[in-house]
Chain A
Amino acid sequence: KQEVTQIPAALSVPEGENLVLNCSFTDSAIYNLQWFRQDPGKGLTSLLLIQSSQREQTSGRLNASLDKSSGRSTLYIAASQPGDSATYLCAAQTGANSKLTFGKGITLSVRP
């Protein structure tokens, strides 16, 4: 059974800091690793998707990496802004049924 862990549960940083959010998974036989953002009371917005054959994906100030052998993914946020404050969730897609297994998320607060 796939298990996804995100530690720490919460993070507070000053504006402008570069930061790394970690995600680990137990079953390396994944199809994709997807990062989402969730604002309070809102739905999930997809940020980046990394296929199992890829090492990283970039979108603007965001960069996500994937190391299947070690069961880890990281989301790098450059030059953080108060608008980046949200909960960030990673999800591993596994199995012939392409099921998603989520971590519990990291709640990020960027202080002005």
Chain B
Amino acid sequence: NAGVTQTPKFQVLKTGQSMTLQCAQDMNHEYMSWYRQDPGMGLRLIHYSVGAGITDQGEVPNGYNVSRSTTEDFPLRLLSAAPSQTSVYFCASSPGGWGYGYTFGSGTRLTVV
């Protein structure tokens, strides 16, 4: 099993550009989430999904869109990149519920200039 795969690993964007961070899992997990990690702020939840076709906002959703058309994929879209979105982004998945933890991808390091 590949687990949770994130692409790209590194990206540099100019202010105002848009892009999609890809996340795919091959474990048939229903729950998927996107986090951003910033120094001094810890990991903060951006958006999450509890199954195909179902998404909801997390703690810091502004400037990001998500969709979940399949169980496997959960892409994160930056509509108009801003320097404040410079961060490390992590995707995670879980079967959900008691006894089932989350598996994380290796992250995407995004710099907006």
Question: A102 to B101, alpha carbons, bound, how many Å?
Answer: 13
Q: Which residues of A contact B71 (CB under 8 A)?
A: none
Look across to chain B and name the residue whose beta carbon is closest to the beta carbon of A98. Answer: B96
Interface residues of A in 17-67 (CB under 8 A from B): 31-32, 34, 36, 42-46, 49, 51-53
Contact check, A99 vs B42: say whether CB atoms are below 8 A apart. no
Contact check, B42 vs A98: say whether CB atoms are below 8 A apart. no
Contact check, B45 vs A99: say whether CB atoms are below 8 A apart. yes
Chain A interface mostly? strand
Question: A32 to B99, alpha carbons, bound, how many Å?
Answer: 6
Bin the interface of chain B by size: 20 to 34
Among B96, B98, B103, B105, the most chain A Cβ lie within 10 Å of the Cβ of: B98
A104 at interface by CB-CB < 8 Å? yes
Task: Pick from A42, A51, A99: contact of B33, CB below 8 A.
Answer: A99
Question: A104 to B39, alpha carbons, bound, how many Å?
Answer: 9
> Contact mask B89-113 → A, CB, 8 Å, 1/0?
0101010111111111111000000
Q: Which residues of A contact B41 (CB under 8 A)?
A: 104
Contact check, B94 vs A98: say whether CB atoms are below 8 A apart. yes
Contact check, B90 vs A44: say whether CB atoms are below 8 A apart. yes
Top 8 nearest A-B pairs (CB, nearest first) are: A104-B42, A49-B101, A43-B106, A44-B104, A102-B43, A98-B96, A34-B101, A51-B99
* B-binding residues in A (CB < 8 A): 31-32, 34, 36, 42-46, 49, 51-53, 89, 91, 93, 97-105
Beyond known contacts A34-B101, A43-B104, A49-B101: 20 more, CB 8 A cutoff: A32-B98, A32-B99, A34-B102, A42-B106, A43-B107, A44-B104, A45-B104, A46-B102, A49-B100, A51-B98, A51-B99, A53-B98, A89-B42, A91-B102, A97-B48, A98-B31, A99-B45, A100-B102, A103-B42, A104-B41
